Amino acid sequence: KNQVEQSPQSLIILEGKNCTLQCNYTVSPFSNLRWYKQDTGRGPVSLTIMTFSENTKSNGRYTATLDADTKQSSLHITASQLSDSASYICVVSLSFHAGNNRKLIWGLGTSLAVNP
């Protein structure tokens, strides 16, 4: 069964601190793995997209890693800011042989609260 599991479910940190969010997946055939940030009441915004051959990708203070062998990914947030408070969702894209509409398998997200 294609699944994406994220941990922790929720996290509270102080402003300025770093944190790491985890994502484990059992998805096949794998196309790519994405991390999205979703503010409350808003649509998701893409942070990173990684293919099978990519181990790490950064976007400002966000750094994602991917271990395709263990099927694990992490999102590291450096020097957190109050505006980082949001839900962070790990999404894995299935690779189909035909067509362009690749199916996305969504995690439940990690709810991050950054407190002053």
Partner 1 sequence: GAVVSQHPSRVICKSGTSVKIECRSLDFQATTMFWYRQFPKQSLMLMATSNEGSKATYEQGVEKDKFLINHASLTLSTLTVTSAHPEDSSFYICSAGGTGEETQYFGPGTRLLVL
Q: Which residues bind partner 1 (CB under 8 A)?
A: 32, 36, 41-46, 49, 89, 93, 100-104, 106-109
CB of 106 to partner 1, least distance (A): 4
For 27-116, strand residue ranges (E) read: 30-38, 45-51, 56-59, 62-67, 72-77, 86-94, 104-106, 110-115
Between 84 and 109, CB nearer to partner 1: 109
CB of 53 to partner 1, least distance (A): 14
Between 70 and 101, CB nearer to partner 1: 101
Between 82 and 108, CB nearer to partner 1: 108
b/e 73-92 (16+ beta carbons within 10 angstroms → b): bbbebeebeeebbbbbbbbb
